Structure 1
Amino acid sequence: MRANERIFVAAPIFHSWGLTALQIGMPLRATTVLRRRFDAEETLAAIEKHECTALFAVPIMLQRILALPERVRNRYDTSSLRIVASSGSALPRSLVTGFMDAFGDVLYNFYGSTEVSAATIATPHDLRAAPTTAGKPPPGTRIALLDREGEQVPPGEVGRIFVGNDMLFDGYLDGAEREVRRGLMDTGDRGYLDADGRLHISGRDDEMIVSGGENVFPRPVEEVLTDLPQIDEAAVVGVPDAEYGQRLAAYIVVREGWRLDEDSVRAYVHQRLARFSVPRDVVFVDELPRNQTGKVLKRLLVEGDVVEPAALPNVG
């Protein structure tokens, strides 16, 4: 980021990511463009009108921009964009490659939390090499992948993600605290480092299920599902199972004009992942329930409440 940037802040300001964009823009003397509601085409029009150099967004916003017909996207000159910074939830592999193919290598993936602030940043170079990566720690931040005993796990092995920097929070208002080891704080996420030192997020600690004795994370299954051209969105959750303890259930939004059946979904996953990662339940829904920042509310899926969610005033 440079002085006198022109930043379009699409991310909601009440969310830490939108607030971060404002806080970065102020000392840079940036021109900041805001809209009350997000609209994909109007965002492109504003980028052209104000010659925005940076866009701060959450993944669902980028997904809706990319979902615009190519002829609509081509109406607007977005060549001024140098940075499209995304955070708030995971970026699907298909969205990463599709967005950069359409808008150039300008995408950055930011991983962090309210508790630990900045953890890692994936640059366009990182995302071209490994589209699902969360990147590497910025200056002043350290990360470690630890096992239950607090020992560091080797590259490629899933461990608990711990982060250390000068911006760790002091605790929750109810007095609860996150576990700290070696000056590093537990994020509540699990992941692994690849051979190049890039972090990959496997999922939340509380999202991992044990099915037939195997540890299974939903995110790799979601990545495989969203690679299918018929699928617009997918969310995978763990549900109770009398035989295996837990099993995976996939909730899928099919693209308009396409058709898909449960057996095809299971066969596709089985060809690419281990047997225990194949969702036994496949449910087709009109849309996934989301909160106002666009994050999927998996709790509602687990509870079986998949009725249409309320309108998202900040996502549109």
Structure 2
Amino acid sequence: MSKEEVVPAVLEGPPLVVRDDYRSILDVFDVACRQYAKRPAFSCMGATLRFDELWQLADRFARWVVEHSGMAPGERLAVVLPNLLQYPVVVFGALRAGLVVVNTNPLYTADEMRHQFEDAGVSGVVIFAHMLDTLEKVREYVAIEHVIVTEVGDLHPLPARLKYNLGARWVTRQAPRRHPAGALALRDALHKGRGTTPVERGGSGDDVAILQYTGGTTGTPKGAMLSHANLVANMLQTGEVLGSAVKRGEETIIAPLPVYHIYTFTVNCMFGLESGCHSVFIANPRDLDGFVKTLAKQPFTAFIGLNTLFAALVQREDFKRLDFSALHLSVSGGMALNAATAERWERVTGSAVLEGYGMTETAPVVCVNPPGALQLGSIGRPVAGTRLCVMDEQGRQLDLDTPGELCIDGPQVMQGYWQQEDDGLVDGWVHSGDIAVLQRDGYVRIVDRKKDMIVTSGFNVYPNEVEEVLMHHEAVYDAAVVGVPDENCGERVVAFIVAQRGATADAAALKSWCHEQLAGYKVPRRFEFRDKLPRSNVGKVLRRALRDEISSEK
């Protein structure tokens, strides 16, 4: 196709309405904590922090940083915490002290943690006690001046604090009985940070607030530099879409996804906080028994999840018996939402799932299905202030309804990658690696990941399309499709299947099912049956691991 034949198109969201009083994340935090002072802000494992209590604890942590740690503005603090009340206290306190937060997955291996700490040049780390063994291996190679340790019940009142902390040390033995030499307990830091005047330091505008590492499943992780302005803009963009469905100061949001993931941080710790919502952290969402028991005790009006979690919950009889009468907002992100899963969720809960789309590099929200205007199978419309286009392999912009790589521009786009020659931006556009179609009705549809596209006998096969068909078969609970090398056709299509509980999935039946709905070249040539599929910490299927598994058989 020549340049003359290409009709480029850009899809734009509505203008973004900015707020002059929100120059930084701290402005948002301060306003919310004053406005909703006596309302619950965050809960976890039966304990709750009100907005005024959260503000006070964050200020104490900031004071410890400023007056006792010696850490200067701009230094990096790694935060290695699961979904606990300590997370917002530490993060907002660190930002108030002018530090840059390095969100770190607490499930990282020592090698993964070491790479991140070395690359970010962290001066200090706040870490969950259960992960201390991993940190000690890292400290053999990385000099970390400040180590602050927190235990599971540190922000619970007595006697719950003793029950949780002593139980983790002496009963389950998940936490060490002693902290490493030179480490400081978070409770001690908060005690030292007591004061009568608020800490004045912070950052704003283009100052980097968070280093959010990405790319861990596809290559060496890189730190996306997200500024105060990026995160505030994305909070406002999210609010302009979801604001009509959210009653300020009244909602209770279930937050099971990792809070160190930018999706949960922006939705719960930014948008939810600014809206006066009560966010309920689920400390261990993989414990579905405990998860459902929490839901039974805690009335909720909104649920933030992803496809894997929705699919797992709707299979459970105890979940189906819950009271969903107050649930009016279900939002999916982090990975593609399967239509079959969305339909099952709505049948069980009565709440339609609004699918959105984002990237770490965009803080993260790019598109959302508006409440009341849901288009199942799409990722919605671009949020306010956002421009989208699709490009071909030569970097040429394509027309509407034409598949190409989705590219994003807007105020939420990162400042670039930390200490990388390639900042990840091309003429201001961030390239997503996702193949998308910009529809004429203003909605966007993801076809597939660029790197996951299968080419068989010269034809393009998008795994999501095949998975969608498989997931609608009554015997299929979960499915993943990959391409593996084939000397005759380039790549052949292989499907990995997890059967529904009590059902028998048959390869011949599934192949026949696919032939009814797909062109022949898209039908999997091979079916592999598994008890579960490998997934990342946020629930994305690790297709590379499945490809490697097949390749290793040769």
Stretches of structure 2 lacking an aligned partner (at least 5 in a row): 1-245
Alignment correspondent of 1:55: 303
Q: Take 2:334 and 2:524, find their aligned partners in 1: how far apart are those partners?
A: 25
1:278 to 507, 513, 523: 523
CA shift for structure 1 position 125:
4.3
**Displacement after TM superposition at 1:257 (Å):** 1.7
Q: Deviations along 1:144-170, whole A, 9 cap, x unmatched?
A: 122234444333321110111112113
Deviation sequence 1:71-106 (CA, Å, 0-9, x none): x33432122222112111111110111212222244
Structure possessing the higher radius of gyration over alpha carbons: 2
Amino acid at match of 1:84: S
Deviations for 1:15-73, whole angstroms, at most 9, x for unmatched residues? 1122122222222232221121114465455445433222222221111111113xx33
Aligned 8 A contact 1:218 1:237 in 2:
yes
Q: Name the counterpart of 1:102.
A: 348
1:225 equivalent among 448, 470, 473: 470
1:208 equivalent among 450, 453, 459: 453
* CA deviation after TM superposition for structure 1 residue 286, in Å: 1.1
User: In 1, Cα distance between the equivalents of 2:475 and 2:252?
Assistant: 36
RMSD (Å), alpha carbons = 2.1
CA distance in 1, matches of 2:292, 2:441: 35
1:91 is matched with 337
Q: 1:78 — aligned with what? A: 324
Q: Which has the higher strand share?
A: 1
Q: Deviations over 1:237-270 (max 9, x none)?
A: 1110010111111000011221222222222112
For 1:44 and 1:163, locate their aligned partners in 2 and report how far apart those are by CA, in whole Å. Answer: 38
Contact 1:45–1:76 (CA<8 Å) still a contact in 2? no
Q: Write the distance in 2 (CA, Å) between the matches of 1:273 and 1:52.
A: 40
How big is the shift at 1:12? 1.0
One-letter amino acid matched to 2:301: T
Contact 2:342–2:352 (8 Å) recurs in 1: no
C-alpha displacement at 1:195, in angstroms?
4.2
| Equivalent-residue separation in structure 2 for 1:108 and 1:43 (angstroms) | 22
Residue 66 (str. 1) matches residue 311 (str. 2): no
Residue range with higher mean Cα deviation, 226-235 or 104-113: 104-113
- Give the corresponding residue for 2:507: 262
DSSP-derived class of the 1:73 partner: helix
Q: Which runs of 5+ in 1 are unaligned?
A: 307-316
User: Equivalents in 2 of 1:111, 1:51: separation in Å?
Assistant: 27
Counterpart code for 1:35:
I
Q: Which one has a larger percent helix, Structure 1 or Structure 2?
A: 2
Question: Contact (CA 8 Å) 1:106, 1:124: kept in 2 or not?
Answer: no
1:287 to 2:535 alignment: no
SS where residue 133 of structure 1 aligns? Answer: coil
Percent identical among aligned pairs is 30
Amino acid in the other structure paired with 2:523? V
Name the counterpart of 1:31. Answer: 278
TM superposition score normalised by structure 1 = 0.88
Moved more, 228-237 or 29-38: 29-38
AA aligned opposite 2:278: T
